[in-house]
Structure formats: C-alpha cells, structure tokens
C-alpha cells in the first residue's frame, strides 16, 4: 500500500428487496460506493478491495445508509424506476472502468443496449470485450445499471447478481429482451 494511502471506512447496510436483500455501501458523506445482493457479498468485498487498492484499505462497518439512499432504492423496487437515477455514486477502479460505469448510468430504465453499442458510445467501437469486462466489475449493481446490457441478439448475458435477477430487473423495468430457454418459474433466486 502506498505511503499516502489510508483506511477507507465505509458503512454497509442491508435492504430488503423483492429479489433478496441488497447490500448497500456508503461513505461517511452518504455517497453510494457499492451495491450488491446478499449472496454475492464476498464478490462485492473483493471488488471494493481491488478498486480502492491505490487509495487505501477498505473497512466496512454495519450501519444504516442515509434515508435518501434507502428511500430511492425502495422507491425503485416499488415502481418509481427513475428514483435511483438521482443517487450520487463514487467508484474506485481504472479510468476506463469509471468511463464505462458513467455510460451505464445514461441507459434509461426500460431500455437496453449491447456491449458493442456501449463501446461505441464511449468512443471505442472496437472495445466491446473490454467494456464487457468493466461491466462485470461494476461495484454498484442496479443503480449503475449493468443489467441493462444484453447480447446483440437481445439475449440475456452474464450478470453479477445472477441471470434470474437480471431477468427480474429487466421485466420490472419493462425492457425488451429474449427470455432464457428455461422458464422463469424453473429459475430460483437464492434465498428467496
């Protein structure tokens, strides 16, 4: 760790959602730093360590996220699909990853895009694979809507929270996509 690095003490909260408890990580200013589902907590912790390695050591303390954060996430799951658009976020990661994550936030609820189109949107039309890798390393699921990126044939592609959740989120938002071969009833969300 660099000599000027320090401890980044973030607060972790657990919010109930229709698709399992969501882990929400905020800094002392109430800015969202990470969001993931309870069954992917170890992945979230690894991403936080990796993405903030240059700044310091990340510690997570149990506590309550600000009412504005909790309220926006609750409102999103209750049907106000734009409520999360106003949440302030801050990420670690590389400059390229942060650029991809900023571009993800420009995809409106109910819409989808592809890795190729997202790469073109950031001015790197041949970087679809790199965009996919950055998308997969997104530390702020749902709010930085990586679930809105699908295959060029409208099929569901990988999602850090699992394909059943991606399908649920896109259906919740009214987005067009090609459902997976297995019917949704056959897909069980862990812990639900």
What lies within 8 Å, CB to CB, of 49 at 6+ separation is: 57, 58
Nearest to 91 by CA among 22, 138, 54: 138
Q: Is the Cβ–Cβ distance between 137 and 149 less than 8 Å?
A: no
Residues 6+ apart with CB under 8 A from 37: 19, 20, 21, 22, 23, 141, 161, 162, 165
60 is annotated as an active-site residue = no
User: Looking at 146, 149, 150, 175, which residue is catalytic?
Assistant: 146
Q: Which residues are catalytic?
A: 146
């Amino acid at each position: 760790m660099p000599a000027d690095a320090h401890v980044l003490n973030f607060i972790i909260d657990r919010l109930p959602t229709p698709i399992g408890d969501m882990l929400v990580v905020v800094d002392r200013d109430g800015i969202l730093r990470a969001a993931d589902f309870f069954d992917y907590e170890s992945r979230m912790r690894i991403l936080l360590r990796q993405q903030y390695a240059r700044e310091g050591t990340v510690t997570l303390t149990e506590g309550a996220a600000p009412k504005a954060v909790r309220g926006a996430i609750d409102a999103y799951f209750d049907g106000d699909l734009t409520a999360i658009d106003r949440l302030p976020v801050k990420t670690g990661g590389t400059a390229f990853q942060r650029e991809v994550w900023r571009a993800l936030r420009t995809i409106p609820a109910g819409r989808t895009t592809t890795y190729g189109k997202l790469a073109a949107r950031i001015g790197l039309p041949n970087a679809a694979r790199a965009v996919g890798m950055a998308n997969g390393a997104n530390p702020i699921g749902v709010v930085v809507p990586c679930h809105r990126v699908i295959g060029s044939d409208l099929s569901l592609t990988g999602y850090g929270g699992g394909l059943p959740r991606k399908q649920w989120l896109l259906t919740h938002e009214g987005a067009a996509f090609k459902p997976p071969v297995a019917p949704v009833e056959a897909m069980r969300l862990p812990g639900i």
